[in-house]
Amino acid sequence: MSLTSWTGTEPSLIAHREKLLDTLQSYGRVAVAYSGGIDSTVVAQAAYAAIGDAAIAVTAVSASLATGELEEAQELAGRIGIRHRVIRTEEFANSNYLRNQPDRCYFCKSELYGRLSRLVGELGVDVIASGANSDDLGDHRPGMRAASENGVRHPLQECGLSKDNVRALAKAWGLPTWDKPATPCLSSRIAYGEEVTPERVRMIDQAEQWLRQRGLRLLRVRYHKGDLARVEVSLDDLPRLVQPEVRNAMVPAFRALGFKFVTLDLEGFRSGSLNGLIPLDSLLKPASSRH
């Protein structure tokens, strides 16, 4: 993208861009772990702007990827111009992942980054880069340990870029998903301690698609014990879901998917709300001690 499109941009944002480009250029040849979410999309855009065809975006596909996310990632990669590769990951073959303890993400990211590390030679890259931003440092992120074990770099963190900074960069670059809500994997919707299964992630995916087809954008369908769906939407959308015409369609639709109970969370949408259920001592133990 031409740098002239940044005319009139705040100097601080231009400084963020330049620091990010310089950081990625210093890596050499880069493979971006690219989900199509806003963070990894900005890293992919920056990598392509910094090093061109020496950058490649790699998207992992498994049962935990929501419907439409792969197609959107492919479209965005094409818009950016970066080379794009799709790989299959097999985290569902790992019993530690399926048992869904608070360190589940460690095993998911170990699978992803392990596969990427083994592909370094084939991909022709020197460094694997993630989309983790500086805000992620204060959250429960067991996947960061897996990244460290596989030598993954985090350019957004290294540049001190927050989620707000990332969105501002995406908007300035003209990326259409600059305000896209976070889209973590479907398994993250399942309450810790409840087994992750392809059937359960399918239920969640189809329930969330049902809501999106009715114009809702900020949402989660959380799975709890007993096939209970806890639906989180923005506070502005709460009244809509209790309207008789919506409620009377939603309940049988969710039951047809496999949910026995359909509940609405009156606190509204909260990113990572299931993390509030994690016992403190679990957060203090390294993943290796909980295998």
pLDDT tens digits for 122-136?
A: 999 999 999 999 999
Do residues 190 and 247 both lie within one domain?
yes
pLDDT at 278 over 60: no
The answer to whether residue 285 sits within a structural domain is no
pLDDT tens digits for 217-260?
A: 999 999 999 999 999 999 999 999 999 999 999 999 999 999 99
pLDDT tens digits for 131-166?
A: 999 999 876 689 999 999 999 999 999 999 999 999
In sequence order, the β-bridge partners of residue 85 are 58
pLDDT at 279: 53
Of 172, 201, 226, which residue sits at a domain end?
A: 172
pLDDT at 172: 95
The answer to whether residue 286 sits within a structural domain is no
Angle at 103 between CA 98 and CA 108, to 5 degrees: 60
Our count of domains for the chain comes to 2
Do residues 155 and 219 both lie within one domain?
no
pLDDT band at 262 (very low <50, low <70, confident <90, very high): very high
The answer to whether residue 254 sits within a structural domain is yes
Do residues 116 and 252 both lie within one domain?
no
On average, the pLDDT of the chain sits at 92
Do residues 46 and 111 both lie within one domain?
yes
Of 145, 172, 199, which residue sits at a domain end?
A: 172
pLDDT at 6 over 90: no
pLDDT at 274: 75
CA 141 to chain centre: 12
**Percent of the chain's residues with pLDDT above 90:** 86
pLDDT at 16 over 60: yes
CATH number at residue 235: 3.30.300
Give residue 263's domain range: 186-271
CA distance 47 to 49: 5
pLDDT at 5 over 90: no
In sequence order, the 6+-apart residues with CB closer than 8 A to the CB of 211 are 219, 221, 231, 233
Do residues 252 and 135 both lie within one domain?
no
Tokens of 202: 């399918």
Determine the average pLDDT of the residues in 36-44: 97
pLDDT at 284 over 70: no
Between strands 55-61 and 219-224, the pairing is unpaired
The answer to whether residue 112 sits within a structural domain is yes
Do residues 230 and 118 both lie within one domain?
no
